[in-house]
Amino acid sequence: MKIGVCAKVAPDPNARLKVASDGTGIVMDGIKTKLADYDEYAIEEAIRTKEAHGGEIVVLTVGDTGAEKLVRGGALALGVDKALLITESPTDPLGTAKLLAAGAKREGCDVLFTGKSTTDEQNFQVGVMIAELLGWAHVTQVTELSFEGDTFVATRNLDAGVRQKVQGKLPAVITCEDGLNTVRYAKLPAIMKAKKKPFEKVSAADLEAAAGEGRLAVGNMAPPPPRPAGKIIDGDAATAAKELVRLLREEAKVL
Amino acid sequence: MSGILVVAEHAGGAFSPTASELLGKATELAAVLGTSVSAAVLGDIDAAPLGGLGAAKVYQAAGDFSTYDAGATIDALEAILRASEADMVLAPAAYAYRDALPRLTARFDGAMASDAMGLRVESGHLVARRPTFAGSIEADLTLTARPAFVTVRGNSFPKVANNGGSAEVVAVSFDKKTPSVTVMETLAPDTKGIDLGTADKVVAGGRSLGSQEKFDALIRNLGEVMGAGVGASRAATDAGYAPHAEQIGQTGQTVSPSLYLAVGISGAIQHLAGMRTSKVIVAINKDPDAPIFEHASYGIVNDLFEVVPALADELRS
């Protein structure tokens, strides 16, 4: 099996972020970055798949975000065999998908794992777009997965707690949901070994691909408008409860 | 070639409230753009009444779409989009469209905005306002490519009343060609009561409840008295006090009810991501510094084990 896994470098979800003065992005100076949370599940699943079925894993990433250190530590050190960095910075999810699809094609992947979304823009688009560009099947928000030859069975999370068991055939893109697995952490010997694993950088042109641009623009970023200060209701439990119900009925009119 | 196509969801023989929300908004946007509104319907239902919600025409693909099949949904929508000649598509932010629309976007080399909570027109383009970074930052996405696809969060726009009008319904056929997975089994959720996704009132409990028994006795009981959906923080579901399907937050469900009661929940960013657009938020927490109070319209700083029973009593009387 040639297993591909996409990884994106994203700001640490616990970081306190500030919007850049032009409103088109966030200030990254001094912000800690990591491989996006759901991509970690994708990396872990790729490794488990290789452990169970053999093959080789390549991690694919785009941009020029200081990814090398994180990808070596967070993917190569865990069991991924090589990395491919496409050195163009796309301006939208479709651009990202075009580059990653070209990378997956060049590497001869027959399955591709991605996170269901990344913790920054949370678009939930790239994985599925890659499937379309490659002409593959896709399944999103997967919490259970098993392979048999080139067939797979997956459980996916729909809305309202509904889950579905589905069956599909490779090649396919699988987007990973919380609960699919528990990620492992790298041990020092593996981190040292990872320094020798291949980390290849290519341009979009090298892959005969182009992200394209001008399809969408981001702007006006701002924290959500703060709510007006709320009322703290005083008194003992019974008094406060009575007053709350009165306010919800008469003032807020939601009861 | 222009127009706004609204995907009108339906279940059990009736159109969902999202159909009214999206058609109402589309009518407003179309007026600014000087274009028309049509509706896309997947599956068998009398669709002419969508005319009363603002659709000038309806394009309908026959068949059973009740169990989500990516290939059928994507290929049917592609055929409908071509037939309608629309260049903007609005769909609810439901699993099916989160799953299907990115493929259409790539197929048409268009652009997509997911989970919009606001929509407007600027210089002839759709601008979607959406949450990023767990909802801690909002951003405008201007979609300059065509077709432009937007999935919209429920409860973002007012529901318009049906004025009794009737639209012409055009039957659209499609070939299923997109490779897809086959559904073997659908597993009903583990939730015990009202569906959180559509509940108008929600009461949610945190880890301070201490046990499943206490969670049921206080939170679930209050939910019953209020006629509210029951939710939980991640800490509470991880501890086993409530099923995972009831988790509200970044890694669980997103809800936007008129009333959200957060009981013993501190208000971490990841929880807020799942409920911050609720109309009225009430917080009950012993800790006066809990971040949840910054987002609440009403707060009670007191022991939930005393307040919740008192609240249930007051509501019952």
- Span A232-243, pLDDT tens digits: 999 999 999 999
The reported pLDDT for the residue numbered A119 is 81
Return the CATH architecture of domain B201-316. 3-Layer(aba) Sandwich (3.40)
Distance from CA of A146 to the nearest CA of B (A): 14
B193 by DSSP, 3-state: which? coil
Reading phi first (left if > 0) and then psi (alpha if -120 to 50, else beta), residue B92 is in: beta
Residues of B within 8 A of A154 (CB-CB) are: 181
Alpha carbons A21 and A23: distance in angstroms, whole number: 5
The reported pLDDT for the residue numbered A130 is 98
Of B189, B197, B298, the CB nearest to A233: B298
Instruction: Examine the domain organization and report whether A154 and A252 are in the same domain.
Output: no
A219 in any annotated domain: no
Please state the pTM of the whole predicted model: 0.90
Portion 255-314 of B in contact with A at CB < 8 A: 258-259, 269-270, 276, 279-283, 293-303, 306-307, 309-311, 313-314
Are A138 and A114 a contacting pair, CB within 8 Å? Answer: no
By residue count, chain A amounts to 255
Q: Does A214 touch chain B (CB under 8 A)?
A: yes
Sheet strands side by side (includes A199-202): A199-202, A82-86, A56-62, A2-6, A111-115, A172-176, A137-148, A151-157, A163-169, B182-187
Which structure tokens are listed for B139?
A: 């951003």
Domain residue spans of chain B: 4-171, 201-316
Residues of A within 8 A of B137 (CB-CB) are: 17, 19, 26, 221-224
Alpha carbons B91 and B156: distance in angstroms, whole number: 12
Alpha carbons B260 and B282: distance in angstroms, whole number: 6
The reported pLDDT for the residue numbered B192 is 66
A24 in any annotated domain: yes
pLDDT tens digit at each of 317 positions of chain B: 799 999 999 999 999 999 999 999 999 999 999 999 999 999 999 999 999 999 999 999 999 999 999 999 999 999 999 999 999 999 999 999 999 999 999 999 999 999 999 999 999 999 999 999 888 899 999 999 999 999 999 888 999 999 999 999 999 999 999 999 999 999 987 666 777 877 889 999 999 999 999 999 999 999 999 999 999 999 999 999 998 889 999 888 889 899 999 999 999 988 998 999 899 999 999 999 999 999 999 999 999 999 999 999 999 98
Q: Give the residue among B207, B214, B212 at the shortest CA–CA distance from B268.
A: B207
Instruction: Examine the domain organization and report whether A115 and A238 are in the same domain.
Output: no
ipTM surpassing 0.85: yes
Mean pLDDT calculated for residue range A162-174: 96
A40 in any annotated domain: yes
Instruction: Examine the domain organization and report whether A238 and A152 are in the same domain.
Output: no
Alpha carbons B213 and B210: distance in angstroms, whole number: 8
Q: Each residue of A91-117: pLDDT tens digit?
A: 999 999 999 999 999 999 999 999 999
Residues of B within 8 A of A255 (CB-CB) are: 201, 226, 259, 315
- Mean of the per-residue pLDDT values for chain A? 94
A177 in any annotated domain: yes
Portion 43-82 of A in contact with B at CB < 8 A: none
Domain range for A246 is 229-255
Instruction: Examine the domain organization and report whether A173 and A203 are in the same domain.
Output: yes
What pairing do the DSSP bridges indicate for beta strands B298-300 and B280-284? parallel
Q: A139 and B297: CB-CB below 8 Å?
A: no
Distance from CA of A198 to the nearest CA of B (A): 31
CATH number of the domain at A40, please: 3.40.50.620
Q: Does B238 touch chain A (CB under 8 A)?
A: no
**What pLDDT band is residue A135 in, cutting at 50, 70 and 90?**
very high
Q: Does B18 touch chain A (CB under 8 A)?
A: no
Instruction: Examine the domain organization and report whether A248 and A144 are in the same domain.
Output: no
Of A166, A224, A248, the CB nearest to B184: A166
Q: What is the DSSP string of B15-76?
A: E-HHHHHHHHHHHHHHHHHT--EEEEEESSS--GGGGGGT-SEEEEE-S--SS--HHHHHHH
Instruction: Examine the domain organization and report whether A38 and A133 are in the same domain.
Output: yes
Q: A216 and B111: CB-CB below 8 Å?
A: yes
**Is B53 or A255 the better-scoring residue by pLDDT?**
B53
Alpha carbons B83 and B177: distance in angstroms, whole number: 17
Instruction: Examine the domain organization and report whether A147 and A84 are in the same domain.
Output: yes
Instruction: Examine the domain organization and report whether A152 and A252 are in the same domain.
Output: no
Residues of A within 8 A of B245 (CB-CB) are: 160-161
Q: Domain count of chain A?
A: 2
The reported pLDDT for the residue numbered B191 is 64
Instruction: Examine the domain organization and report whether A164 and A250 are in the same domain.
Output: no
Instruction: Examine the domain organization and report whether A173 and A245 are in the same domain.
Output: no
What pairing do the DSSP bridges indicate for beta strands B137-143 and A216-222? antiparallel
A218 in any annotated domain: no
Residues of B within 8 A of A19 (CB-CB) are: 137
Instruction: Examine the domain organization and report whether A32 and A93 are in the same domain.
Output: yes
Are B230 and B202 a contacting pair, CB within 8 Å? Answer: yes
Instruction: Go through B169-207 and write b for each residue having 16 or more CB atoms within 10 A of its CB, e for each that does not.
Output: beebebeeebbbbeeeeeeebebeebebbbbebbbbbbb
Does the CA dihedral A22-A23-A25-A26 come out positive or negative?
positive
A185 in any annotated domain: yes
**What pLDDT band is residue A65 in, cutting at 50, 70 and 90?**
low
A216 in any annotated domain: no
**The CATH number of domain B4-171 is 3.90.550.10:** no
Instruction: Examine the domain organization and report whether A25 and A151 are in the same domain.
Output: yes
* Positions of E strands within chain B: 4-7, 10-11, 14-15, 37-42, 57-61, 88-92, 111-116, 118-122, 125-132, 137-143, 148-152, 168-171, 182-187, 201-205, 229-232, 259-263, 280-284, 298-300
At position A130, the amino acid (one-letter code) is I
Q: A93 and B102: CB-CB below 8 Å?
A: yes
A217 in any annotated domain: no
